[in-house]
Chains A and B, each alone.
Chain A
Amino acid sequence: MIGRRAALAAVILLSPLAARAAEAPSGAAACSGCHAAGTSVDTPVPPLAGRHPLELYGALQAFKTGQRQGTIMDRIAKGFTDDELKSIAEWYGAQKE
């Protein structure tokens, strides 16, 4: 049984798609209104899926504190707690590009 659970855990870790099926954390669903899921959309907004969670979290923190200027992300990042931003960064990090 332990073996099976470990195997399933490995599947989850290795497969971003399984993670995608996991529930989106609070707020994450709204980001895809601007950050396209794929690269096929012609937009200057950078994609989030599959990027390193630390990189995403770092950027979100920088917007939140005002260290990094944006046209819009500062206003959005300020609406989330650090924990929420962390969960969102991890979730997007686990999405397939």
Chain B
Amino acid sequence: MRNRRDFLKTGVGVAATGLFPHVAIGQTASPKVVVIGGGFAGATCARMLKRLDPRIAITLVEQNPVFTACPFSNEVLAGLRDIKDQEFDYKKIVGDGVNLAVMAATGIDHQARTVSLSDGSTLAYDRLVVAPGVDFRWDALPGYTEAAAERMPHAWKAGAQTLLLRQHLEAMEDGGLVVIAAPANPYRCPPGPYERASLIAHYLKAKKPKSKIVILDTKDAFSKQKLFEEGWKALYPGLVEWVPLSQGGKVTSVEPASMTVATDFDKHKPAVANIIPPQKAGKIAELAGVADRTGWCPIDPLTFASTLQPNIHVIGDAAIAGAMPKSAFAANSQAKVCAAAVAKLLAGGTVAENKLVNTCYSLVAPDYGITVAGVYHPVNGQLVDVEGAGGTSPVNAPATTRALEASLANGWFKTITGEVFG
């Protein structure tokens, strides 16, 4: 990204001359912000905050030295993309002046305002941003344990699980059955299971055309449904079957040893099982006392401040962001609003209302892209859709439109990962 150094220099210079009206001249102690989680939400927030006010001391706490992005990981499953293209490090963010602690945050002391880390040390904060993404509810689906995920991968956090599911697909014989179990709302990336079915179908059609995909769903409707169904009919006739909740789609238990996926009506014996389990905010949110009984974190949509604990903000998948879906786009959009709010609050100002945007690109095939978009604003403490805006790509659009959206999807991934990590 251009001119960062210039900007930082100028930013510092301007601050020093007192042009920031909200900065008390002569203020010395720099405020401290800790951000937990270096994903699309946390990494964006840490970086933007440093850029907005270089005097804030920011520490980004992330348990992995390398981040593996989920968007486009369905292309890895289909053999269209290398996992390396999903990997990003924190060098540029550190270069911007953000401190990085490659450690897990293990607890929060609200009174002392400290975060404890896996090495036993603590970090003090004036404001804390919690952005841990999701964790799985390992107790929600009988039989689906962490060990079971080795036989029946979720691949809902990108990395080893993505490669494992890829291996299973590669090892499957032609004519095999692939089952994808999709969870009830809310969960990370609402169109994700259907994009996944599409791109696996793309692979099977070329390499193992006698195979079949069955999506067992705990819902009766899904994101961009008309567009996906139109695409499946055109590109993969007979290959993808969707079983909604009302037709017995809900998976009630799994047995990895016998590769059984059970619903109330059926017992499937797939060659490849992809179980996407129910989710909740990353565990640290619960430890921080910012998750409610739903497992997700209620926030004030103006500042993304937790409504349960003072001086803590929650962004990204972990937050209850009203009508906004849990996407990387939304996480990035929320992070920028949150960073501006935190800078403002630390300087003693009041935060103005902000609109947010989401756009989710999905690929039905590598050259067939579709979108759903939304613009959101806070109404009575909730983020709601701005009426008349947003919506999906048109149905019955020409192939050129689908190809254009596919190329824009690729552009979006490069742009957003460039903004966050590049």
Contact = CB atoms under 8 A, between A and B. Distances in A.
B67 interface: no
B6 A17 contact: yes
Contacts of B14: 18, 21
Nearest 3 CB-CB pairs, A to B? A79-B375, A43-B411, A79-B389
Nearest to B394: A71
B333 A29 contact: yes
Interface string B374-413: 1100000000001011110100000001001101101110
B408 A40 contact: no
Interface of B: 1-3, 6-7, 10-11, 14, 17, 19-20, 48, 52, 329, 332-333, 336-337, 340, 352-357, 359, 371, 373-375, 386, 388-391, 393, 401, 404-405, 407-408, 410-412, 414-416, 418-419, 422
Interface of A: 8, 15, 17-18, 20-21, 23-24, 26-27, 29-45, 71-72, 75-80, 84, 96-97
A42 B390 contact: no
A33 B371 contact: no
Contacts of B416: 33-34
Contacts of A43: 408, 410-412, 414-415
Contacts of B404: 44, 71
B354 A45 contact: no
A78 B1 CA distance: 29
Nearest to A27: B355
Contacts, number: 140
B415 A72 contact: no
Given A20-B7, A26-B354, A43-B411, A71 B340 contact: no
A84 B401 CA distance: 29
B414 A42 contact: yes
Given A41-B415, A72-B373, A79-B375, 16 more contacts: A8-B17, A15-B10, A17-B3, A32-B415, A32-B419, A33-B416, A34-B359, A36-B1, A36-B414, A37-B1, A41-B422, A43-B411, A43-B412, A44-B404, A45-B411, A71-B371
Given A29-B337, A72-B408, A8 B19 contact: yes
A18 B355 contact: no
A44 B415 CA distance: 10
A44 B407 CA distance: 8
